[in-house]
C-alpha cells in the first residue's frame, strides 16, 4: 500500500507538471506568436525543447520547494498531504485554464501544499513562505514592469533613426532568440518545482534521504512531462497575453521576453526563489506597452489578472484542504 501511494502521488505530480506545461506554455510564446515572429506550432515545438533543456540547469528552486515551505511530513499522512496539495494545484490550474486567466501554476502549487499541510496539522515554514513565495510574488511583477519599460525605452532610443520596416523584420528574427530564452527560463523554474515535490514524496516513502541529490530519472520525468504539456498548447491564455493586454509589435515582444527571461534567471541562480513566469511576462508586457502611451495598455484586463494572482494561493489552499479531508476520511 505504501508503494502504491508513492507511485500514485508521483503520477499526480507528473500530471501537475503536464497541466503546468499547457497552462504556462503561453508565457514563453504568446508575444512571439502575436507579433507573427513564429507560427504557433513552431513556437510550441521550440518552447517544448527549451523547457526540457532548462530543467537540467539547476536545482536550487527544487530544494526550496522540497524543504523550505512545509516540514516534510511522514508516513501515510504525509503522502496524503502531498497528494491533496497536488489535487488543489491541478484543480485551480484547470479552472483558470478554462476561463483563459493567466494565473500562476507555481502559486497554485504553493497554496496547495500549504493548505494541505494546515489541514493535516503539519508544520508550515511561514518564514520560508514569506521570503521565498510572498515577497518574490510582489517584487517580481514590479521589477518586470519597470525593467520592461526601461528596456523598451532603450530600444526606442537606439533604433530611433532606423527604417521601421527593416527594424521590425530584424526584431522578428531576434524574437526567436528571446522566446527561446524565455522558454529556457520557464523550464529552469517550473520543472524544478515539481522535482521538489517528487523528491519530497520519495523522502516520505523512505526511498531517498532529505538533502540527497535529485535522481536523474526525476529530472528527466519532470522535464519530459513539462515539455509534453507545453506542446499540447495553451491557446486561451496565449490570446489573453498576446493580444488582450496590448497589441504588440516585434520590438515590444522582444523587450518583454528579454526582460522576463532576465528576471527568471536572476531569481533562479541568485536567490533560488520560485517565481511565477506568468507574473513576470504579464508585467513586462504591461511595462513595455506603457512606453507607447499609458492608455494603450488595457488596464481592465490587467486588473482581472492581478486579482487572479491574489486569489490563486488561498483558492488552491482551500481545494487542497478539502481534498485532504476527503482522502483522510476514505483512507485514514
332 in any annotated domain: no
Element (H or E) spanning 95, and its range?
Answer: helix 75-98
Greater model confidence, 331 or 122: 122
What is the domain range of residue 136? Answer: 1-325
Quick one: which of 272, 300, 298, 276 has its CA closest to 285? 298
Q: What is the pLDDT at residue 127?
A: 92
331 in any annotated domain: no
280 in any annotated domain: yes
Res. 228: pLDDT tops 60: yes
Residue 179 exposure: Cα atoms within 13 Å on the Cβ side: 35
The Cα–Cα gap between 2 and 21 comes to 29
Res. 63: pLDDT tops 70: yes
9 in any annotated domain: yes
Encode pLDDT of 4-53 as tens digits: 889 999 999 999 998 888 776 666 677 777 777 877 778 778 888 888 88
Residue 160 CB-density burial (10 A; 0-12 exposed, 13-18 middle, 19+ buried)? exposed
Identify whether the C-beta of residue 116 lies closer than 8 Å to the C-beta of residue 324: yes
232 in any annotated domain: yes
Identify whether the C-beta of residue 108 lies closer than 8 Å to the C-beta of residue 172: no
Q: Which three cell numbers stand for residue 43?
A: 513556437
330 in any annotated domain: no
C-alpha torsion 63→323→112→76, nearest 10: -20
Q: Per-residue pLDDT averaged across 285-314, rounded? A: 77
312 in any annotated domain: yes
140 in any annotated domain: yes
Number of domains composing the chain: 1
Query: Rounded to two decimals, what is the model's pTM?
Result: 0.84
Amino acid at each position: 500500500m505504501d508503494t502504491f501511494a508513492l507511485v500514485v502521488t508521483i503520477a499526480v505530480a507528473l500530471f501537475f507538471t503536464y497541466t503546468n506545461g499547457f497552462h504556462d506554455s503561453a508565457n514563453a510564446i504568446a508575444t512571439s506568436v502575436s507579433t507573427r515572429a513564429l507560427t504557433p506550432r513552431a513556437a510550441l515545438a521550440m518552447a517544448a525543447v527549451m523547457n526540457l533543456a532548462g530543467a537540467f540547469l539547476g536545482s536550487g528552486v527544487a530544494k526550496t520547494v522540497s524543504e523550505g515551505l512545509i516540514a516534510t511530513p511522514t508516513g501515510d499522512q504525509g503522502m496524503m498531504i502531498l497528494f491533496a496539495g497536488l489535487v488543489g494545484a491541478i484543480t485551480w490550474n484547470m479552472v483558470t485554464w478554462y476561463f483563459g486567466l493567466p494565473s500562476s501554476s507555481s502559486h497554485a502549487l504553493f497554496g496547495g501544499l500549504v493548505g494541505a499541510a494546515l489541514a493535516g496539522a503539519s508544520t508550515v515554514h511561514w518564514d520560508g513562505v514569506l521570503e521565498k513565495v510572498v515577497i518574490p510574488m510582489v517584487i517580481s511583477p514590479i521589477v518586470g514592469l519597470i525593467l520592461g519599460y526601461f528596456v523598451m525605452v532603450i530600444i526606442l532610443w537606439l533604433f530611433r533613426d532606423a527604417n521601421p520596416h527593416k527594424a521590425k523584420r530584424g526584431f522578428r528574427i531576434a524574437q526567436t532568440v528571446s522566446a527561446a530564452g524565455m522558454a529556457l527560463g520557464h523550464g529552469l523554474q517550473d520543472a524544478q518545482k515539481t522535482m521538489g515535490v517528487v523528491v519530497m514524496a520519495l523522502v516520505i516513502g523512505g526511498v531517498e534521504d532529505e538533502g540527497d541529490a535529485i535522481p536523474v530519472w526525476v529530472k528527466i520525468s519532470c522535464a519530459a512531462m513539462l515539455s509534453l504539456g507545453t506542446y499540447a498548447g495553451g491557446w486561451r491564455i496565449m490570446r489573453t497575453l498576446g493580444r488582450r493586454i496590448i497589441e504588440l509589435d516585434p520590438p515590444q515582444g522582444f523587450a518583454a521576453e528579454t526582460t522576463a527571461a532576465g528576471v527568471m534567471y536572476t531569481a533562479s541562480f541568485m536567490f533560488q526563489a520560485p517565481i511565477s513566469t506568468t507574473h513576470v511576462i504579464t508585467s513586462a508586457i504591461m511595462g513595455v506597452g506603457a512606453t507607447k502611451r499609458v492608455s494603450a495598455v488595457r488596464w481592465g484586463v490587467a486588473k482581472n489578472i492581478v486579482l487572479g494572482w491574489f486569489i490563486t494561493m488561498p483558492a488552491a489552499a482551500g481545494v487542497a484542504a478539502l481534498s485532504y479531508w476527503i482522502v483522510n476520511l476514505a483512507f485514514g
